Amino acid sequence: MVNKVAVVTGANRGMGFETARQLAKLGYQVIVTSRDREKGLAAVDTLLSEGLSVEYHQLDVDDPASIDTLANDLRDSHGRIDALVNNAGVLLEPIDADASVFNADPETILRTFCTNALGPLLMAQALVPLMGGEGCIVNVTSGMGQLSEMNGGYPAYRLSKTALNAVTRIFADELKDTNIKVNSVCPGWVRTDMGGPHADKSIAQGVETTVWLATLGSDGPSGGFFRNKQPLPW
């Protein structure tokens, strides 16, 4: 277990930070990544002070060159990875605003797609070759991306998370003859900067299913959508 390596994007705070902490407590060498280098290094310092095995790598999931640099550095330093948690995400539409699809800003949609859907796709393209045919990919998505319960409001975010669910399904199908498990997770309503202080889940509760999916064995599910460790309809 000591040699297992996990990469967590957007891990300088919130659910990404707690996911990194929980995986490190399970014995993973965790690569903490973030766009903001100073905040990422501060997060790593906190985890190191807890006696956890973590290291930092700056990463901008909107930048293919940044992703390639991470992949090359991981190949040189570790040779492989065992888990990828695509946690980095943005909600660029104002909270509690009337964000109707009829007045959705195309630029906001494109920027949201770039981080929430294209970023995880590019991360998997770059890092799957380092997994050696086994491991776990977890895409942190949202119930707001469920077609079966799709509503109005927050169109850029909803569309991006629906696309991320499609990324999960496509990768899972193309990797079905390997032992790489690819799944989506909806953490639920969590008390983060995005979720707000009135959400019903703590951050620790919010990452339980993510950590479970990141540590699945070869007999675990793939191509699924989960909340509270239970499957959700797409």
Return the CATH number of the domain spanning residue range 5-231. Answer: 3.40.50.720
Which tens digit of pLDDT belongs to each residue from 125-134?
A: 999 999 999 9
pLDDT at 94: 83
Among 57, 61, 68, 64, smallest CA distance to 33 is for: 57
- Residue in the block written with tokens 């014995």: 27
Which tens digit of pLDDT belongs to each residue from 79-125?
A: 999 999 999 999 999 876 678 899 999 999 999 999 999 999 999 99
Alpha-carbon separation of residue 170 from 9, 143, 174, 175 (angstroms): 20, 19, 6, 9
Q: At residue 15, does pLDDT exceed 70?
A: yes
CA distance linking residue 208 with residue 109, whole number of Å: 29
Alpha-carbon separation of residue 52 from 30, 55, 80 (angstroms): 9, 10, 20
pLDDT at 1: 47
Catalytic residue among 28, 56, 154, 157: 157
- Residue in the block written with tokens 């009135």: 198
pTM for this prediction: 0.95
Q: Is 157 a catalytic residue?
A: yes
Q: Where are the domains of the chain?
A: 5-231
Which tens digit of pLDDT belongs to each residue from 195-208?
A: 677 778 888 999 99
Which tens digit of pLDDT belongs to each residue from 143-161?
A: 999 999 999 999 999 999 9
pLDDT band at 192 (very low <50, low <70, confident <90, very high): confident
> Mean pLDDT across the chain, nearest whole number?
94
pLDDT at 59: 98
Which tens digit of pLDDT belongs to each residue from 105-115?
A: 999 999 999 99
